Chain A
């Protein structure tokens, strides 16, 4: 089967750094995406890794190791507004861009 595993919940305080891990097992792999979703809202794109290594976008960074079938999202200088659910998603097909989503990690940021 195809599966992505993420921790169900992470808590942190404002200003801290948090890492959300994602391990995957899929029949095809063309990249790993990260999305943020606030309660009741639409997922918004954060970051994408097609190759091994670190991608940095402002306070957010994402890492991929294809040999370990593993990636993570790193959030720095946490703010209250970062409280949301974070999903990793594997791009399982290049031509159709079919995405397989993890079950999400709920991040709660406390003052």
Chain B
């Protein structure tokens, strides 16, 4: 079954703690993206990667880090430097050309 899998669905972070959100895809898409969505707001780009071992900062990269060691995986770490991490995090992939971005089901991160 092809698609994008984000885990966990819900995540709680303690103060000063780093947490990692998983995004795995079996669509064979080269490009992957991480977005943050706050309540009642649109999506804002955190990081994106067009090929393995390469990634670029988006509009709100501060306090986040990523890696792209495999084509299928693009994990996002929310570091303790991100002072307001409570949000809905969405991972997306892109095949190329005029194809749309496809989204995973998201991870909802809250502060304990």
Stretch at the interface among B11-19, B66-74, B76-84, B102-110: B102-110
Chain A residues near B31: list those with CB within 8 A: 96-97
How many residues of B sit at the interface, in one of the four size bands? 20 to 34
B interface residues, Cβ below 8 angstroms from A:
31, 35, 40-45, 48, 50, 56, 58, 90, 94, 96, 98, 100-106
A-B contact count (CB 8 A): 50
In the bound complex, do residue B98 and residue A31 qualify as a contact, i.e. CB atoms below 8 Å apart? yes
Q: Which of A43, A44, A99 contacts B45 (CB 8 A)?
A: A99
* CB-nearest residue of chain B to A34: B100
| Bitwise interface map of A from 42 to 82 toward B, beta carbon under 8 Å scored 1, else 0 | 11110010100000000000000000000000000000000
**Residues of chain A contacted by B48 (CB below 8 angstroms):** 96, 98
In the complex, which of the residues A41, A43, A97 contacts B43, with contact meaning CB atoms closer than 8 Å?
A: A43
